Amino acid sequence: MPMADTPAPESASSAPDLLTSPLHEAHVALGATMAEFGGWEMPISYAGSGVVSEHQAVRQAVGIFDVSHLGKALVSGPGAADFVNSTLTNDLVRIAPGQAQYTLCCNDNGGVIDDLIAYLVGPDEVFLVPNAANTAAVVARLQAAAPAGVEVRNQHREFGVIAVQGPRSEALLTAVGLPTDLDYMAWRDGTFQGLPVRVCRTGYTGEYGFELLPAWDVARPLWDALLAAGAEHGAKPAGLGARDTLRTEMGYPLHGQDLSEEITPVQAKSGWAVGWSKPAFWGREALLAERTDGAARTLVGLDAIDRGIPRAHQQVLDAEGAVIGEVTSGTHSPTLGHGIALALINTASAPALGDEVVVDVRGRKLRMTVVKPPFVESHVR
């Protein structure tokens, strides 16, 4: 999930209607650089550390992220799971209650309205975590399609979300009394100070880690406890800047850039999140046709040869100088020490793995090699 290239900091006066997370005052106290993202004012990085240091903390120890801007929605009532399964792309039958699943909400043309995580509670209850800016659209689409007896409720501001990511994340959660004996994409309801916290073995960094869903009012004491207990584990608060560099190193797509209503899961190589044999889901016919006929574009990884940082919307050229595509996400990789990117390339002229292409970085030609993400080793297990 379901972060962009780091957004430019924006003052509160220039965006007075931004929503804030339950941890907003904590970020201000930590000297965070704040910016608008998905209609929310969120931390990009923190005073005394910065994006690279926070990125390295996640790869080497543990980083603590506030991602409470992510949406939350509850689908409940008789047959709720079957209803969700008939709308979203992935197949809920593949998982059991107590597990979570990455899935997509598509339009009729196969474009992606949003990517999200579905928590299967049981046949009559599914909890969804969409992206911040798309929550209202996803909820409205589900509400319009819901059969009698099935309720779709927007709970965006009823829960916070705290991501604890890195090799020391298990030790940190143990220190605050939360459960950690979970398989990847499994969840359990634990307690903190006697109050419920949903704990899931998910993340957006490629590291071993967890995502916590406390009630809105519980988020601040839980955040404070994690920071206090994390001191001996090398923990740092981490902002959306590091979240973006971490996810790009893993080749994880970001909605609005690598996935969108114009970029289908077939084009974005996210077909693994589609239950192709299901009889129904939104966009099914269009996606089946595209898979059969072949997508006009395909998402690839690009690894820089020269010094330079590729950015979204920059043109990708072949060896002869012809435009063959466009960067969708680009950044400097703190782990590798050079630029990396995801790019949509015209299938008819797509280079092979290992071939060299050029990205036009504001008039300067940046040579890059076509690779298959991830760019660095994943430690998800």
Q: Where are the domains of the chain?
A: 12-67+158-250, 73-152, 296-371
Please state, in angstroms and rounded to a whole number, the distance separating the CA atoms of residues 210 and 187.
9
Reading the block at residue 123, the tokens are 């046949």
Q: What is the pLDDT of residues 62-119, one digit of tens each?
A: 999 999 999 999 999 999 999 999 999 999 999 999 999 999 999 999 999 999 999 9
Reduced to 3 states, what is the DSSP secondary structure of residue 322? Answer: coil
Please state, in angstroms and rounded to a whole number, the distance separating the CA atoms of residues 139 and 121.
18
Alpha-carbon torsion 10, 212, 23, 159, what sign?
positive
Instruction: Please give the CATH topology (third level) of the domain spanning 296-371.
Output: Elongation Factor Tu (Ef-tu); domain 3 (2.40.30)
Alpha-carbon torsion 226, 228, 233, 237, what sign?
positive
- pLDDT, mean of residues 168-177: 98
**Is it the case that residue 15 has pLDDT exceeding 90?**
no
Closest CA to 297 of 340, 259, 331: 259
Q: What is the pLDDT of residues 178-187, one digit of tens each?
A: 999 999 999 9
Supply φ then ψ for residue 148, to 5 degrees: -55, 135
The CATH superfamily holding the domain 12-67+158-250 is Probable tRNA modification gtpase trme; domain 1 (3.30.1360.120)
Alpha-carbon torsion 325, 329, 330, 336, what sign?
negative
Q: What is the pLDDT of residues 285-328, one digit of tens each?
A: 999 999 999 999 999 999 999 999 999 999 999 989 999 999 99
For 73-152, CATH number?
A: 3.30.70.1400
Specify the length of the chain in residues. Answer: 381
| Strand stretches in the chain, DSSP E | 19-20, 33-37, 40-45, 62-66, 73-76, 99-106, 112-122, 125-129, 151-154, 162-165, 187-192, 195-200, 209-214, 235-238, 297-304, 315-317, 323-333, 338-346, 356-361, 364-371
Mean pLDDT of the chain, nearest integer:
95
Reduced to 3 states, what is the DSSP secondary structure of residue 227? Answer: helix
Closest CA to 209 of 156, 149, 250: 250
pLDDT confidence band for 381 (50 / 70 / 90): confident
pLDDT confidence band for 2 (50 / 70 / 90): very low
**Ordered strands of the 19-20 beta sheet:** 19-20, 40-45, 33-37
Please state, in angstroms and rounded to a whole number, the distance separating the CA atoms of residues 377 and 298.
22
Share of the chain above pLDDT 90, in %: 95
pLDDT of residue 16: 63
Window from 14-23, 52-61, 140-149, 253-262 with minimum mean pLDDT: 14-23
- pLDDT, mean of residues 186-215: 97
